[in-house]
Chain A
Amino acid sequence: MSWRATLGLVLLLAAIVSGWSAWKNRDVPEPNQVLADRSDYVMHDFEMIALNGEGQEAVAVRAPEMARNPQDETYTITTPLFLLPEEEGRSWELRAKTGWLSAKGEELRLKGDVHGISPAGSARKAEFRSETLNVFPGRDLAQTDDEVTVTQPGSRLTGRGFETNLKTKEYTFKSQVRSIYEPRSAR
């Protein structure tokens, strides 16, 4: 057999082997990965009220859409409005572009234009703004590492490393804090 034929045979064999190896390693999606993108149920234009251990309203959420992920049983909420009740039925209002709720509701992550407003008629109106906010209802804790701005009549407070106790309203900023107070005469 001439060297040309031998060379041709070798090349043919090489082509077959590389073709087989490419087919073997092709990108085959995991069977369950296909399912993850599809929620098992979706709610539209709803209001959900979560009750605490004593059967009282702990938090209410209104949103145009909420989808549940069957894989980890978490929820994704579109433009949620959360109502955090205070005394006499008044509530803090907390809005964001998206919300993510863990399976058992221990953690809520708000993302995108997070905006909180104190209850109408409260002693001191307060507005809260940030890009993200992580809320842990069971621990009455809300925190974020993003810059936070809190405005109240006559004062404006910005800082990073924010944490607040949702019940006592105590807060802490861990760095880069700036407070501006306008005396009544300057307002």
Chain B
Amino acid sequence: KASDRNQAMTIDSGSQSGNMEGSGKTVLGGGVVVTQGTLEIKSSAAEIYMADGEVSRSVFTGKQVKMKQQMDDGTWMDAQADRVEYDMKTETITFIGNYTVKSDRGSNSGQRMVYNTKTGNMQSGGDGTRVRTVIQPKSAQPAQGKN
């Protein structure tokens, strides 16, 4: 949801290393779970970058990283990829490496996709790799989103 980005972000992990002065990169391992409103990301490891005391960017890696978020219309979007980059400044999430995104409107898979959490727009491909999109016909039973 658009309101997710104004919520507190909670990150649980098995281990964490960083700098007390909040500069540089914080490295998390041992299984990472991020929740922020309806947004949830699960990965093996993560890197968190801070700027003026705020999280500015996070990079998640895993076999695979899993993410889900509720849209403003109440439906759910599920995604997974080898690598997920969440840029809090531009409020975009980039899926890199064997991504698949599923929502009630259909599914989309490929090697690279940029998802705008503000507008819900998804822009895929553009790097020479192939993209596969499946759009659900109106009459078909919508795919079971997780509520």
Q: Is the interface of B mostly helix, strand, loop or mixed?
A: strand
Q: How many residues of B contact A (CB 8 A)?
A: 26
A172 within 8 Å of B by Cβ? yes
| A124 B12 Cβ-Cβ under 8 A | no
| A175 B30 Cβ-Cβ under 8 A | yes
What is the bound-complex CA distance between A171 and B53, given in angstroms?
17
Contact partner of B21 among A123, A155, A178, CB < 8 A?
A123
Chain A residues with CB under 8 Å of B20's CB are 118, 126, 150, 164, 169-171
Q: Which of B1-9, B77-85, B92-100 contacts A (4 or more CB under 8 A)?
A: B1-9
A153 within 8 Å of B by Cβ? yes
Interface residues of A toward B: which range? 20 to 34
Chain B residues with CB under 8 Å of A122's CB are 21
Chain A residues with CB under 8 Å of B48's CB are 179
Contact partner of B55 among A152, A161, A181, A185, CB < 8 A?
A181
Within 8 A of B (CB), among A161-176: 161, 164, 168-176
Contact partner of A172 among B15, B22, B54, CB < 8 A?
B15
Chain B residues with CB under 8 Å of A153's CB are 53
Would A186 and B18 be within 8 Å (CB), given that A154-B54, A177-B28 are in contact?
no
Binding site for B on A (CB under 8 A): 118, 122-124, 126, 150, 152-155, 157, 159, 161, 164, 168-186
Binding site for A on B (CB under 8 A): 5-22, 26, 28, 30, 48, 53-55, 88
